[in-house]
Copies of this chain bind each other. A is one copy, B any other.
């Protein structure tokens, strides 16, 4: 396992790998790896000869009052897990290496970035797209793998890569869940026992809406109201949103239409904010 901390060494390493004809896969993470992340590394390994896992808790995607400082970190364990999953290079720069004094350049996708997560976390996606573009320029991957768990992020990164002619293939891998349905997230460690149990209601409400749609329900108002009732039974601190989105354009819809709808939600339990989503095919 090779650990690289500087932009220059990472760029030289990737350039050298490319000269040798190696295909590079990259998995950008904020560390504290779980089975969701390792599934992305396994996917990247299938698609390439060398997998670089980036570990960087990116300050520019956290808003004021969010959990940047207390975001969980465990670098030793991350290296072990990444290696076991098939990654041989870790890129883990510090904040000053990524954002030197006077840093001032940002990338924004102006469509699809101001709803859902973007509404509740106004500077979040600007931070995400900026750091991802930097990481792509630093690691030069043939393929980069993201998780469907952050569906809006995956959409915006695909859009940015396409719009800005970044020559890499963006791959989105499925959500990995606990046995009881809770989507894996580094933030799950914040949940206490009661919250952890109640949090299973997120996926339960998504599956419920899926069944209703398959049974023919087409009204977003009705679906949202029923999901809201289900979620409220779990006594969350707050439901940020329950959104129905056209996946190709990332636009909210009011009426379920073929061929598919993405149902996405964000719910808070105490200080912990959880997101989840489900892509549902819709018959005509």
Contacts and interface: CB of A to CB of B under 8 A. Distances in A.
B165 A11 contact: yes
B104 A107 contact: no
A151 to B, nearest CB: 17
Q: Is the interface of A mostly helix, strand, loop or mixed?
A: mixed
A214 B112 CA distance: 54
A68 interface: no
Interface residues of A, number: 28
B108 A108 contact: yes
A82 to B, nearest CB: 22
Nearest to A106: B108
Contact of A104 (B102, B104, B110): B110
Contact of A105 (B7, B138, B160): B160
Given A105-B129, A129-B105, A159-B104, A137 B164 contact: yes
Contacts of A249: 102
A104 B108 CA distance: 8
A163 B105 contact: yes
A133 interface: yes
A137 B166 CA distance: 6
Contacts of A112: 104
A137 B167 contact: yes
Nearest to A130: B164
Given A133-B164, A134-B164, A165-B137, A102 B108 contact: no
A110 B102 contact: no
Interface string A136-168: 011000000000000000000001100111110
A111 interface: yes
B163 A103 contact: yes
A11 B110 contact: no
14 contacts: A7-B165, A103-B163, A104-B163, A105-B164, A106-B107, A106-B108, A106-B110, A107-B107, A108-B108, A134-B164, A134-B165, A137-B164, A137-B167, A138-B165
Given A104-B110, A104-B111, A105-B129, 12 more contacts: A104-B109, A105-B108, A105-B109, A105-B163, A106-B108, A106-B110, A107-B107, A107-B164, A108-B108, A133-B164, A137-B167, A138-B165
